[in-house]
Amino acid sequence: MTALICGSFAYDNIMVYPGRFREQILPDRIHILNVAFLVPELRREFGGCAGNIAYNLNAIGGAGRPMGTVGTDFEPYAQWLSTCGVDDRHVRQVDGCYTAQAYITTDLDDNQITAFHPGAMDHAHVNTVPTDEGITLGIVAPDGRQGMIDHATQFADAGIPFIFDPGQGLPMFEGEDLLRFIDQATWVTVNDYEAGLVQQKTGLAPAQIAERVEALIVTRGAEGAVVWCKGRRLDIPPVPAAEIVDPTGCGDAFRAGLLHGLMHGADWEVTGRLASLLGSIKVGHHGTQNHALTPEGTRKAFSTAFGFDLGI
């Protein structure tokens, strides 16, 4: 019983400019834009959807293996995965490429300027979903376009149920691509903004998507989540966060909870709450893999938050 987590690995370089972009960018000079920001603070974090989901799932005692493509600069991340005990047999290095990386500069008004280099992620399709390794569940999270298409088809052909999680990969797909993914998937999960984009591209409202899959899960940040399942709408409450530090990666933490619940056959009340709890724990820490989690700690936090035992 193992989940295969298809998606990206990335380094997130996060810089804070202790000023305001608008004071450096002159509107009448925008045609010859040439600005440099001195950023005394730089953090380099391990990220990418497959890495993040695998980190969370492994930390709560779940069985999951990430599958993704990385570059020749992956060594520090590989060491981190090994420290965390994440099984990296499906993490493949592509020669001549860097690992995907984001360079995010934030100013004091919380404006962001981001550059994203996909690097090895664009080769995601060199990996194939294994059919002889006891994979019982999958997720297709944001990754190279062809990789997402191929892995969804490979899961469907192998009869392995999977979650379709288009996330920030949504702009790469047209309505007909999304309809095919929805048709192949057993579950679909998006945040509320992405739900709007999917509706715009496919013409399908959440309740209509839910008719085509076993469940559609829509996350709503601090407001929790909604599970659309078998003609009904189930609201999943948020867990009040001890501190709100950084919302990045809450979606990936949430997805680890979904995989864990689904793998253990838990009902949506339990699966949704576990996912919600993990998102709430994550929001209290910078980065996407810096929050400490243990199976026992998660069980304890679950019963404190909801007043009943997790049971898995």
Ligand X SMILES: Nc1ncnc2c1ncn2[C@@H]1O[C@H](COP(=O)(O)OP(=O)(O)OP(=O)(O)O)[C@@H](O)[C@H]1O
Question: Which residues from 219-258 bind ligand X, rule CB under 6 A?
Answer: 219-222, 224-225, 238-239, 241, 244, 247-252, 254
Least distance in Å: CB of 111 to ligand X?
Answer: 17
Count of positions on this chain that bind Mg ion (CB under 5 A): 2
Question: Which residues from 155-174 bind Mg ion, rule CB under 5 A?
Answer: 167
Instruction: Work out what residue 225 binds among ligand X, Mg ion, none; the CB cut-off runs from 5 to 8 Å by kind.
Output: ligand X
By rule CB under 6 A, what string of x and - marks binding of each residue 168-197 to ligand X? -----------------------x------
User: Strand order of the sheet with strand 112-117?
Assistant: 41-47, 10-16, 100-106, 112-117
Q: Which two tokens stand for residue 14?
A: 């996060």
Residue 7 in contact with Mg ion, rule: CB under 5 A = no
Instruction: Work out what residue 242 binds among ligand X, Mg ion, none; the CB cut-off runs from 5 to 8 Å by kind.
Output: none
The region of 228-236, 244-252, 262-270, 295-303 touching Mg ion under the rule CB under 5 A is: 244-252
64 or 257: whose CB is closer to ligand X?
A: 257
Q: Which residues bind ligand X (CB under 6 A)?
A: 191, 219-222, 224-225, 238-239, 241, 244, 247-252, 254, 276, 279-280, 283
